[in-house]
Copies of this chain bind each other. A is one copy, B any other.
Amino acid sequence: MNYEEAKIKFISTWGSLGTLWGINKAMAQIQALLFISTKPLSMEEIMEELQISRGNTSMNLRQLMDWGIVTKELIPGERKEYFTTEKDVQELARIVAKERSRREIQPVIKVLNEVSSIEDDGTEKTKELIKQTKALHDLTETADAMINKLVNQQQNWITKSLLKLFT
């Protein structure tokens, strides 16, 4: 496998993994391209490399910036805008975990809390609904808290010890 093949394989794999971290294919591919680029890229260059339209590129870059994963780079003397992505994988993971928590997990926790707090009318089905949604609520909240904590700490002594424990 040479450089070009490897690059294409990486971008397309990372693109299809997008769903796993809650973003769409084009977004993930743009991020992947920037992630292995040795310099900031212009919209033109991104369009060219990924064979996608100007509109698509513009919208997805905007979303990546909303997520805080990509930033504009102003190159002196250049009219065009250039883009870079966060290059540190730990930081990337931190941002993604935080955003997904805020966008998707927190709203669900809220609903689970509401549902599990309905008045117990004494019927079996109500008891079951309350019991099960409460269990889901607690699980979701705990998982969310753990992921955020883990991902937030820098590679400090706790994380290091945990890695040893769990590997």
Residue of B nearest to A12 (CB): B111
Pick the contact of A139: B90, B115, B149 (CB < 8 A).
Answer: B90
Pick the contact of A167: B9, B38, B129, B145 (CB < 8 A).
Answer: B145
Q: A108–B7 Cα gap in the complex (Å)?
A: 14
- Taking residues whose C-beta sits less than 8 angstroms from the other chain, chain A's interface range is 35 or more
Q: A162–B36 Cα gap in the complex (Å)?
A: 35
Known A36-B128, A38-B124: A1·B166 in contact at CB below 8 Å? no
**B136/A3 in contact, CB under 8 A:** no
Known A17-B104, A135-B89, A142-B163: A37·B128 in contact at CB below 8 Å? yes
**B143/A166 in contact, CB under 8 A:** no
Copies in the complex: 2
**Could you list some 13 contacts between A and B, CB below 8 A?**
A9-B111, A9-B115, A13-B111, A20-B108, A36-B133, A37-B125, A89-B139, A93-B143, A142-B163, A146-B150, A146-B162, A149-B166, A158-B165
**A→B interface (CB under 8 Å):** 1-3, 6-7, 9-10, 13-14, 17, 19-20, 22, 35-38, 87, 89-90, 93, 100, 104-105, 108, 111-112, 114-115, 118, 121, 123-126, 128-129, 132-133, 135-136, 138-139, 142-143, 145-146, 149-150, 158, 162-163, 165-167
